């Protein structure tokens, strides 16, 4: 119920979830591919199963591929390769933390880190310098987007340079505050 309340309050407009009345351990999520990515407006379905010792263990997640291998992290057989669910050996900050990790974090991370503009860079054997180059090239855009989210001038996932702000759904105050903090941190790194 705690997770559901977080989702009700903070779920971006491009991610949808459905629970099952008789099976509180199941959840289906649909993530809409973001603008500016090869997945723009595509629908990605995921089934999530909460283990009996959740949140001590991450949820089990399966991608409904419909027979397509659309991303290096999403396999035809439903396998999702992602460090947050402890599948890929990322550093401790990238792995599931029973005290702080949430389903919202998982879904937003999949949308932003897996279903991104250059999925080729998600390949595990790609060198870090290639990823760093990607962020160097897009740094100004990323900073502008995070700043717009923090100031309430763009809806998460729908930022475009020189376009009027979206009026469909506003970001929550917490999301805006987090974006403002992130903007300051990113600006110091640039």
Query: Does the pLDDT value for residue 11 go beyond 80?
Result: yes
Interhelix angle 173-189/128-150, rounded to 10 degrees, is 130
Tens-digit pLDDT profile for residues 19-52: 888 888 899 999 999 888 888 889 999 999 999 9
Its pTM stands at 0.62
Residue ending a domain, choose from 122, 140, 166: 122
Catalytic residues: 81
Are 115 and 145 in a shared domain?
Answer: no
Q: State the distance between the two ends of the chain, measured CA to CA, in whole angstroms.
A: 40
Are 59 and 113 in a shared domain?
Answer: yes
> Between 123 and 85, where is the model more confident?
85
Query: Does the pLDDT value for residue 165 go beyond 60?
Result: no
**pLDDT recorded at residue 89:** 60
Q: What is the CATH number of the domain that holds 63?
A: 3.10.110.10
**pLDDT recorded at residue 173:** 81
Rounded average pLDDT over 57-74 = 89
Residue numbers of the domain that contains 94: 2-122
Residue ending a domain, choose from 82, 101, 122: 122
Residue ending a domain, choose from 97, 122, 147: 122
Tens-digit pLDDT profile for residues 75-106: 899 998 887 886 666 566 678 888 888 999 99
When divided into structural domains, the chain yields a total of 2
**pLDDT recorded at residue 90:** 59
* β-sheet bridge partners, residue 31: 15, 44
């Amino acid at each position: 119920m705690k997770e559901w309340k977080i989702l009700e309050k903070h779920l971006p407009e491009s991610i949808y979830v459905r629970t099952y009345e008789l099976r509180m351990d199941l959840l289906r999520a649909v993530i809409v591919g973001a603008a500016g990515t090869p997945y723009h407006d595509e629908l990605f379905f995921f089934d999530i199963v909460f283990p009996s010792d959740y949140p001590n263990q991450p949820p089990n997640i399966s991608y409904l591929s419909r027979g397509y291998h659309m991303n290096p992290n999403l396999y035809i057989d439903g396998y999702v390769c992602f460090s947050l669910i402890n599948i890929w050996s990322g550093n401790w900050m990238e792995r599931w933390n029973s005290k702080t990790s949430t389903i919202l974090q998982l879904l937003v991370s999949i949308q932003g880190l897996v279903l991104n503009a250059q999925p080729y860079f998600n390949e595990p054997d790609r060198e870090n310098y290639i990823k760093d180059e990607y962020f160097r090239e897009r740094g100004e855009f990323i900073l502008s987007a995070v700043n717009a989210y923090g100031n309430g001038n763009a809806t998460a996932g729908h930022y475009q340079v020189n376009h009027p702000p979206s009026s469909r759904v506003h970001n929550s105050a917490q999301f805006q505050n987090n974006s403002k903090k992130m903007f300051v941190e990113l600006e110091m790194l640039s």
